[in-house]
A and B are shown apart, each in its own frame.
Chain A
Amino acid sequence: MDPAAVLNRLQFAFTIIYHYIFPQITMGLTLLIFLLKTMALLTGDETANRAVRFWMKILGVTFLMGVVTGIPMEFQFGTNWSRFSALAGGVIGQTLAMEGMFAFFLESAFLYLLLYGEKRLGKFGHWVVSLLVFAGAWLSGYFIVCTNAWMQHPVAYRILPDHRIVLTSLSGLLNNPWAMVQYAHVAIGTVITGSFLMACLSSFYLLRDQHVDVARRCLALSVVVGFIASCLAAMPTGDLTAKQVYKYQPAAFAAMEGHFYTQDSAGLVVMGQPNMQTMTLDNPITIPHALSFLTHQRWNAQVIGLTAFPPEQRPDFVPPLYYAYHIMVGLGTIFIAIMGLSVLFLLLGKLRRQRWLLWALLLAVPLPFIANTAGWTTAELGRQPWIIYQIMRTSDGYSQNVSTGNIWFTLLGFMGLYLFLSFVYFFLLVRIISAGPEPAPQSTALPVEMR
């Protein structure tokens, strides 16, 4: 395999995986903050407002990290993937530019007001701003997913004699059916992250008997939202996504399911290690007939296997693809279980006393990040060896004029810089968490804000 292509992919993968830690928090949290803000507006509940002020501190730091690590993403299309950009720019440039104009301005213009403008704007104004920031973050996500969806499933395009790609319809690009399904799944994933993060910190405070009023309010909200989102992630969005991959990218589907040979009544692999030498699965645990049923709704239907495709049409890293997919699905199941139990005890009014469950919620916080990353890894490795599915190969897309020495330099540079960012981010988070939400006002007037 072309080492330069692998190195370019590695840099993009590293920077995007690191970047995506932050947007999934901000997308999830902006929804939860908007819900808390709505509760506060409707009921005049001051506890919800105090919770909002606490979560906005975390949102602010996270948003900042997302912004500073996000700008390199857009520019890497040009720096590292110039041949791809030159041919496809007329299409994917549209959604990327739209993201800047429609969504990013909205977010960045109103985030400051959300974070620091509560006094200046008044109750209703602040609620509107929280809605605008939420809309900006989610719109931003749609444009980015739309860009990716076009690479997964190109629509509304025409190829000119000089190989450049023309967009034929804007609405076709924005209504790409692939993008709808993918976005629903991705957005639900971010809500899971946001809910687990909120549940984690609320459990932390409850286990320590600190900030109990705010923590209870947040825990209740986060487990309810988290449970709904975890269910939606599996059905219908996860199911639809898998069916879509089976329909349009059958080789990717076979690789991620670990399904090597075309057969009737195919079983669903739960566990096992793909062996690429023998093209079999070691130590398999399978559910008989289940794969046929999930793809065709018939127990005996035929499912195409990986070996049905010539080697140059198969994804180039099958085992990581297979594991990424199975990790995502496995964790998704765990999410439904944890959040389902929490909601059950919440309805019984006993959630606070289940210390083991609070511990589980506290410790589960890395899992949604892993699941989201694994999900994206599945999508991106599954698309290989294509950068634009069935149109352009990844090895034809990178910048040939940039030597591998220079890419090593910037890859190591990004790693060092992002390691430093991680320290800063965790340091700030720990400070915010140890300070906790502001205490309930003790009938005295609120402290007068400086400036």
Chain B
Amino acid sequence: METLWFCLFWEILATFVVLSGTDIGVGMLHFLVGRTDGQRSQIIRSIHEVWKPNQVWLVVIGGIMFVAFPALLAESLSGFYLAIMLVLWLLIGRGLGIELRDRIDDPMWARFWDVAFSLSSVLLAVCLGAALGNFVRGVPLDETGRVFFEAFWTNFRLGSDTGILDWFTVLVGITAVIALTHHGALWLSHFTDGPVQERSARLADRSWLMLVIALGVCVLLTTVFQPQLRANLVAHPWGVILLLGAGAALAWCRSLRRRGRTLKAYIASGLSLYAILNCTAFALYPYVLPARIPEHGLTAFKAAAPRESLQLALCWWIPAALLVACYFAYVYCKMPSKFLLDVAE
């Protein structure tokens, strides 16, 4: 039961990254590919309809952590207090940017929200990446496996007194920026036309190689820093498939892009993100919150809510997930297939 919820938790996390990651990636590209007011409006329109349901997955992540792993919620959210608060504030800035930009037809107003939207998207990508880096690297839990607090940064070294940002987590943060840029560029190259589409198609091509390199470095470093990965690989050699799957999805994405199959390329990129996060989950199992000193880590079994609570939660979670899948199918099907540049441009 605990393992099942462990998997569910990571799948939901991956769903959030794939869906909301698109919006974040689009935000980072906002000024890079949108050079005029009309083009930036076009970019915002392309995610206007879906960003809110996408972001609800974040609420679901919080809810699932609460229901299934209350100790994880308690430890990680209070331990990363400042970072979580920063993320919440960034989410406010981003949501307002998307929704309010086109509400008033005024260049200064649009400019202000453009900057708010794209700046908070970049910082969010770094934060999400750094958070993932922290989970992989482990946090300073004490021998009771309880209570830690990480400042934003200490000395950027991987000692026992780490901050949220050290050179490794910053590296993962940068990788996240590249990955989501790539993902967002693919979205734009499918759903827009004109100069925005051309530029994002070019960017998707360029960022692909960077992404492969950055991911490679991260995987290598993870095998060094996270002993659980090696242990899990020895115990369950099939885990390699996940990594190969991620590689294959990325390669497939590249070849589809080359052939101009933009929608499929976007989906392939999403699959590769899924696979990468599944690799991470595989590497960390059974730890939900690994520690700097591996034995102190918080396992799924220690962090989980009592079994009865988990079973009850599963009863309603399955129908709810089906219902949500229907909403998403409906919303994405109702969406126009292209967001055209305004005729006035």
Q: Using a CB–CB distance below 8 Å, which chain A residues touch chain B?
A: 60-61, 64, 67-69, 71-72, 74-75, 77-80, 82-83, 85-94, 96-102, 104-106, 108-113, 117, 120, 160, 164, 166-170, 399-403, 406, 409-410, 413, 417, 421, 424, 428, 431, 450-451
- In the complex, chain A residues whose CB is within 8 Å of the CB of B330: 109
- In the complex, chain A residues whose CB is within 8 Å of the CB of B313: 93-94, 97
In whole angstroms, what is the CA distance A89 to B75 when docked?
Answer: 12
In whole angstroms, what is the CA distance A86 to B149 when docked?
Answer: 16
B238, CB-defined interface residue at 8 Å:
no
B5 CB to nearest chain A CB (Å): 11
B62 to A96, Cβ gap below 8 A? Answer: yes
B63 to A109, Cβ gap below 8 A? Answer: no
- In the complex, chain A residues whose CB is within 8 Å of the CB of B148: 401
* Majority-rule SS of B interface residues: helix
In whole angstroms, what is the CA distance A80 to B79 when docked?
Answer: 10
In whole angstroms, what is the CA distance A102 to B68 when docked?
Answer: 17
B60 to A79, Cβ gap below 8 A? Answer: no
A164 to B306, Cβ gap below 8 A? Answer: yes
Picked from B52, B62, B320, the residue with its CB within 8 Å of the CB of A75 is B62
A89 to B73, Cβ gap below 8 A? Answer: yes
B55 CB to nearest chain A CB (Å): 8
Most buried by A among B56, B65, B71, B96: B56
B65 to A168, Cβ gap below 8 A? Answer: no
- In the complex, chain B residues whose CB is within 8 Å of the CB of A72: 85, 88, 92
Q: Given that A105-B324, A108-B56, A401-B148 are contacting pairs, would A89 and B63 also be in contact in the complex, using a CB cutoff of 8 Å?
A: no
- In the complex, chain B residues whose CB is within 8 Å of the CB of A89: 66-67, 69-71, 73-74, 305
B17 CB to nearest chain A CB (Å): 17
- In the complex, chain A residues whose CB is within 8 Å of the CB of B63: 74, 93, 96-101
CB closest chain-A residue, reference B321: A101
A92 to B334, Cβ gap below 8 A? Answer: no
List 26 A-B pairs, Cβ < 8 Å: A68-B91, A68-B92, A68-B96, A74-B59, A79-B78, A79-B84, A79-B85, A83-B74, A85-B70, A89-B305, A90-B309, A97-B63, A97-B67, A99-B59, A101-B321, A101-B323, A101-B324, A109-B328, A167-B312, A399-B81, A402-B149, A409-B82, A410-B81, A417-B92, A421-B96, A428-B100
B340, CB-defined interface residue at 8 Å:
yes
- In the complex, chain B residues whose CB is within 8 Å of the CB of A109: 52-53, 327-328, 330-331
A108 to B62, Cβ gap below 8 A? Answer: no
B77 to A170, Cβ gap below 8 A? Answer: no
B26 CB to nearest chain A CB (Å): 17
Total inter-chain residue pairs, C-beta < 8 Å: 207
Q: Given that A78-B62, A101-B60 are contacting pairs, would A94 and B312 also be in contact in the complex, using a CB cutoff of 8 Å?
A: yes
Q: Given that A89-B73, A90-B309 are contacting pairs, would A112 and B67 also be in contact in the complex, using a CB cutoff of 8 Å?
A: no
B85 to A401, Cβ gap below 8 A? Answer: no
Picked from B60, B78, B96, B100, the residue with its CB within 8 Å of the CB of A78 is B78
Q: Using a CB–CB distance below 8 Å, which chain B residues touch chain A?
A: 48-49, 52-53, 55-56, 58-60, 62-71, 73-79, 81-82, 84-85, 88-89, 91-92, 95-96, 99-100, 103-104, 147-149, 305-306, 308-310, 312-313, 315-317, 320-321, 323-324, 327-328, 330-331, 334, 340, 342-343
A104 CB to nearest chain B CB (Å): 5
B74 to A74, Cβ gap below 8 A? Answer: no
A212 CB to nearest chain B CB (Å): 27
* Majority-rule SS of A interface residues: helix
B66 to A93, Cβ gap below 8 A? Answer: yes
CB closest chain-A residue, reference B84: A79
B66 to A168, Cβ gap below 8 A? Answer: no
A170 to B52, Cβ gap below 8 A? Answer: no
- In the complex, chain B residues whose CB is within 8 Å of the CB of A112: 48-49, 52, 331
B320 to A102, Cβ gap below 8 A? Answer: yes
B60 to A100, Cβ gap below 8 A? Answer: yes
B52 to A86, Cβ gap below 8 A? Answer: no
In whole angstroms, what is the CA distance A409 to B151 when docked?
Answer: 13
- In the complex, chain A residues whose CB is within 8 Å of the CB of B321: 101
A78 to B58, Cβ gap below 8 A? Answer: no
A424 to B100, Cβ gap below 8 A? Answer: yes
CB closest chain-B residue, reference A106: B327
- In the complex, chain A residues whose CB is within 8 Å of the CB of B103: 61, 428
CB closest chain-B residue, reference A78: B77
A426 CB to nearest chain B CB (Å): 13
In whole angstroms, what is the CA distance A93 to B66 when docked?
Answer: 5
Picked from A67, A79, A85, the residue with its CB within 8 Å of the CB of B52 is A67
CB closest chain-A residue, reference B48: A112
Known: A82-B73, A90-B309, A105-B56. 15 other contacts (CB 8 A): A69-B92, A72-B88, A78-B84, A79-B78, A86-B75, A90-B70, A91-B309, A93-B73, A93-B305, A97-B60, A104-B56, A105-B327, A106-B327, A399-B78, A401-B147
Q: Given that A68-B91, A105-B327, A109-B53 are contacting pairs, would A424 and B65 also be in contact in the complex, using a CB cutoff of 8 Å?
A: no
Q: Given that A72-B88, A105-B327, A413-B89 are contacting pairs, would A79 and B81 also be in contact in the complex, using a CB cutoff of 8 Å?
A: yes
In whole angstroms, what is the CA distance A68 to B75 when docked?
Answer: 24
B205 CB to nearest chain A CB (Å): 29
Q: Given that A68-B91, A83-B74 are contacting pairs, would A104 and B59 also be in contact in the complex, using a CB cutoff of 8 Å?
A: yes
B309 to A101, Cβ gap below 8 A? Answer: no
Q: A-B pairs with the 4 shortest C-beta distances?
A: A89-B70, A97-B63, A78-B77, A93-B66
In whole angstroms, what is the CA distance A169 to B308 when docked?
Answer: 9
Picked from B66, B327, B343, the residue with its CB within 8 Å of the CB of A97 is B66
Q: Given that A89-B305, A91-B309 are contacting pairs, would A78 and B82 also be in contact in the complex, using a CB cutoff of 8 Å?
A: no
A411 CB to nearest chain B CB (Å): 10
In whole angstroms, what is the CA distance A358 to B104 when docked?
Answer: 31
B104 to A406, Cβ gap below 8 A? Answer: no
In whole angstroms, what is the CA distance A406 to B66 when docked?
Answer: 23
CB closest chain-B residue, reference A166: B306
A74 CB to nearest chain B CB (Å): 5
- In the complex, chain A residues whose CB is within 8 Å of the CB of B69: 89
CB closest chain-B residue, reference A157: B309
- In the complex, chain B residues whose CB is within 8 Å of the CB of A68: 91-92, 95-96
In whole angstroms, what is the CA distance A344 to B306 when docked?
Answer: 57
